[in-house]
C-alpha cells in the first residue's frame, strides 16, 4: 500500500508528464502550411488606423481564406520586438495560385 505522500508525488509526476505531452512551445507552434488557392483576395477594406500606442505596432487588416470564401480580419496591435521590423500579412501570387503570407518579424 502506498503512503499518502507517495500517492501525491505519483499524481504530480503523472500530471507534469501529461502536461508536457500536450505543451507546444511557441517556436514549434509557429509552423505554417501554405496552400495555393485560385481565388484572388478582394481589395483591402478601409480601416482607420488608431493613434500610435507606445510599445506596439499596428498590424493592418487582411483577407483570410476560410475554405470557400475570403473573410476580413480586422487590424490589431502587435507588441514591439526591439531590433525587428514587423511585416504585415499579405497575399502573394505564385504559379499554383494565391498564398497568404502571415505577418512576421524580421531583422
Residue with cell 488608431: 50
Structure confidence by residue, pLDDT tens digits, 42-76: 999 999 999 999 999 999 999 999 999 999 999 99
Q: Looking at residues 74-90, what average pLDDT do you find?
A: 97
The residues near 35 (Cβ < 8 Å, ≥ 6 apart) are 99
pLDDT at 43: 96
Q: Is the pTM of this model over 0.85?
A: no
| Closest to 44 in 3D by CA, of 87, 102, 89, 103 | 89
pLDDT above 90 coverage of the chain, percent: 66
Stronger pLDDT, 26 or 94, i.e. the higher one: 94
Q: Do 31 and 44 contact (CB within 8 A), yes or no?
A: no
The pLDDT of residue 32 is above 60: no
pLDDT at 36: 82
Question: Rounded mean pLDDT of the chain?
Answer: 81
Residue with cell 480580419: 73
Amino acid at each position: 500500500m502506498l503512503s499518502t505522500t507517495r500517492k501525491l508525488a505519483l499524481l504530480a509526476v503523472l500530471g507534469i508528464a501529461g502536461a508536457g505531452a500536450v505543451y507546444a512551445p511557441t517556436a514549434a507552434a509557429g509552423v505554417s502550411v501554405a496552400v495555393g488557392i485560385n481565388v484572388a483576395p478582394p481589395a483591402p477594406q478601409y480601416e482607420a488606423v488608431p493613434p500610435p500606442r507606445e510599445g506596439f505596432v499596428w498590424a493592418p487588416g487582411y483577407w483570410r481564406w476560410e475554405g470557400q470564401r475570403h473573410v476580413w480580419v480586422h487590424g490589431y496591435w502587435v507588441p514591439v520586438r526591439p531590433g525587428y521590423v514587423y511585416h504585415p500579412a499579405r497575399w502573394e501570387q505564385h504559379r499554383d495560385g494565391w498564398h497568404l503570407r502571415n505577418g512576421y518579424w524580421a531583422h
